[in-house]
Amino acid sequence: MRVLVTGGAGFLGSHLCERLLALGNYVICADNLFTGSEDNIRRLFNHPRFEFLRHDVILPLSVECGQIYNLACPASPRWYQKDPVYTMKASFLGALNVLELARTAGARVLQASTSEVYGDPDRSPQPESYRGCVSTVGPRACYDEGKRAVETLFFDYRRQYGLDIKVMRIFNTYGPRMSINDGRVVSNFIVQALKGEDITIYGRGTQTRSFCYVNDLIAGMTALMNGPENFTGPVNMGNPEEISIKELAKTIIRLTGSRSRLAFKELPADDPRQRRPDIALAKRELGWSPTVGLEEGLKLTIDSFKMLIGY
| Relative orientation angle of helices 294-308 and 245-256, to the nearest 10 degrees | 60
Per-position DSSP letters for the chain, written without gaps between them: -EEEEETTTSHHHHHHHHHHHHTT-EEEEEE--SS--GGGTGGGTT-TTEEEEE--TTS------SEEEE--S--SHHHHTTSHHHHHHHHHHHHHHHHHHHHHHT-EEEEEEEGGGGBS-SSSSB-TT---B--SSSTTHHHHHHHHHHHHHHHHHHHHH---EEEEEE--EE-TT--TTS--HHHHHHHHHHTTPPEEEETTS--EEE-EEHHHHHHHHHHHHTS-TT----EEES---EEEHHHHHHHHHHHHT----EEEEPPPTT--S---B--HHHHHHH-------HHHHHHHHHHHHHHHTT-
Catalytic residue among 143, 157, 174, 213: 143
The verdict on whether 130 is a catalytic residue reads: no
- Burial of 100 per CB tally in 10 Å (0-12, 13-18, 19+): middle
Dist. CA 206–CA 273, nearest whole Å: 8
Residue 261 near residue 270, CB atoms below 8 Å: no
Catalytic residues: 143
